[in-house]
Amino acid sequence: MIPLAEAQSFVLAACPPAEPVEVSFTEAFGLVLAADVIATETVPPFDNTAVDGYAVRAADVVDASTTPVRLEVVGEIAAGAGPGERILGAGEAIRIMTGAPIPPGADAVVMVEDTERIGDDAVLVSASVDPGSSVRPAGDDVVPGDVLFTAGALVTPAVLGVLATVNARVVSVHPKVSVAVLSTGDELVDDGRPLAPGEIRESNRRMLAAALSAAGCAVTDLGIVRDDEDELERVLRDAAASHDAVVTSGGVSMGDYDVVKAVLGRIAEMRWMQVAIKPAKPLAFGLLGGTPVFGLPGNPVSSLVSFEMFARPALRRMMGHQRLARPSVVAVADADLVRRPDGKTHLMRVTAFFGDDGRCHVAPVRAQGSHQLAATSTADAIAVVPDGDGVPAGADVAALLLLS
């Protein structure tokens, strides 16, 4: 059997990051930057107010907290207006709205809550303020030349907002990976009709397509391909020629004779591996015309775990991500994680939560069979249990958090 780390390294080495492309910043959400983003503009572009209130000279209201000060209102500035040319003089104030530019001569803003309007031309200020109070200086957030984001950064909603703020209209990113997913077998049914003897409902393809989409891939569902080698060869060749990767499930065990194994063994450069993990020991991986092909095991839990351990990290690498694996924590086992020595690392599906002690706690789902997908569907983490007799309740165990 092959150690888990060796199998992962082999797969990752064959899946380098995709060549960068330039896109509008509006299309960059969820993608990974392929080049640094350097600011060319000042943010904010001018001194502006952080609150609604009155622009004043701080010296005029230095004692206002004890003795309210009456100021003459000589103007009003709304957001989107210019600051005007009038220089604020002693004993004067200008009504100002959040985001509006600070007028010449003013050095602070008094919040409207600390004022009382007196008619149309005066205001009573009942709070003293320091110079710079409630003023957002030009360049307080960004100045030209700032390296805002480095290559490898994920474009999150906040990053997208910054790109808009600094007018970074075009950015270099690694594109989404296009992935074709298919299932094979005459026994598979997915049209909702009653099952005939020997038939089963197709689930792996639907599950993997959803997992691929959640990982940020552009997914093409090729449906079910029947057990016909010529047809399967045609579908696989077309899929590899028109996509960045191909994912199949089933027919990769050592003893299997399956059309997938027969066809891929003939047309692709495949490596058939037995990985020292449970579930998901069988794994096929290789290249078809230079396109990565992931042959995942057929049992649904094994297929999902194999996707998490091999396909997802590799596809994320192709999309330029720096963190390939799921977040890992040292968790507390709230129940015994029972196993027997067998030379494998057991990847046990568990539920996880953070307790009042600030630590992650895990407990196994009700069933651990590689065919028991219903039980696995309730898991939100995978406990990595090393070879041996298991992990007793109360002990530490490494856990991969299956976060979206």
3-state secondary structure 311-373: HHHHHHHHCCCCCCCCCEEEEEECCCEECCCCCCEEEEEEEEEECCCCCEEEEECCCCCCCCH
Phi/psi at 179 (nearest 5 deg)?
-130, 130
CA 138 to CA 152: how far, in whole Å?
29
Phi/psi at 183 (nearest 5 deg)?
-125, 155
- Exposure of 27 by Cβ count < 10 A (0-12 exposed, 13-18 middle, 19+ buried)? middle
| pLDDT at residue 255 greater than cutoff 70 | no
Q: Are 155 and 30 spatial neighbours (Cβ–Cβ below 8 Å)?
A: yes
Domain 29-43+141-174 CATH superfamily: Molybdopterin biosynthesis moea protein, domain 2 (3.90.105.10)
Q: What is the pLDDT of residue 253?
A: 75
Which of 116, 121, 132, 119 minimizes the C-alpha distance to 56?
A: 132
101-146: per-residue pLDDT in tens?
Answer: 999 999 999 999 999 999 999 999 999 999 999 999 999 999 999 9
Q: Are 300 and 373 spatial neighbours (Cβ–Cβ below 8 Å)?
A: yes
C-alpha R_g of the chain: 31
Which of 291, 88, 258 minimizes the C-alpha distance to 184?
A: 258
Q: What is the pLDDT of residue 185?
A: 87
Q: Are 292 and 360 spatial neighbours (Cβ–Cβ below 8 Å)?
A: no
Domain 4-17+176-318 CATH superfamily: MoaB/Mog-like domain (3.40.980.10)
| pLDDT at residue 254 greater than cutoff 90 | no
For the domain with range 48-136, which CATH number is right: 2.170.190.11, 3.40.50.720, 2.40.50.140, 2.60.40.420?
A: 2.170.190.11
DSSP at 220: E
CA 164 to CA 150: how far, in whole Å?
17
CA 293 to CA 240: how far, in whole Å?
8
Report strand pairing: 178-184 vs 245-249: parallel
Determine which of 140-149, 255-264, 284-293 has the lowest per-residue pLDDT on average: 255-264
Tokens of 227: 């057990």
- Give residue for tokens 């991500």: 321
Residue 16: is the preceding peptide bond cis (ω within 30°)?
no
**How far apart, in Å, are the Cα atoms of 375 and each of 36, 201, 368?**
44, 17, 7
- Give residue for tokens 């609604």: 52
Residue 252 pLDDT grade (very low, low, confident, very high; cuts 50, 70, 90):
confident
| pLDDT at residue 250 greater than cutoff 90 | no
Size of the chain, expressed as the number of residues it contains: 404
b/e map 273-285, b = 16+ CB within 10 Å: bebbbbbbbbbbb
Which of 23, 58, 235 minimizes the C-alpha distance to 133?
A: 58
| pLDDT at residue 257 greater than cutoff 80 | no
Report strand pairing: 345-354 vs 245-249: unpaired
Tokens of 198: 């020997």
Q: Which residue has the higher pLDDT, 293 or 250?
A: 293
- Give residue for tokens 């199998």: 7
Give the orientation angle of helix 259-267 with respect to helix 229-242, to 10 degrees: 50
What does pTM read for this prediction? 0.91
Q: What is the mean pLDDT of the chain?
A: 96
For the chain, percent of residues with pLDDT exceeding 90:
94
- Written as one letter, the residue type at 181 is V
Report strand pairing: 345-354 vs 277-278: parallel
CA 312 to CA 111: how far, in whole Å?
52
Residue 271 pLDDT grade (very low, low, confident, very high; cuts 50, 70, 90):
very high
CA 352 to CA 204: how far, in whole Å?
24
- Facing residues of 127 across strands? none
Q: What is the CATH number of domain 328-401?
A: 2.40.340.10
329-379: per-residue pLDDT in tens?
Answer: 999 999 999 999 999 999 999 999 999 999 999 999 999 999 999 999 999
Q: What is the pLDDT of residue 404?
A: 60
Average of per-residue pLDDT across 61-65:
96
33-55: per-residue pLDDT in tens?
Answer: 999 999 999 999 999 999 999 99
Helix, strand, coil percentages for the chain (3-state, nearest 5): 20, 35, 45
- Written as one letter, the residue type at 21 is V
Q: What is the pLDDT of residue 256?
A: 63
Q: What is the pLDDT of residue 258?
A: 82
What residues does each domain of the chain span? 4-17+176-318, 29-43+141-174, 48-136, 328-401
Phi/psi at 299 (nearest 5 deg)?
-60, 135
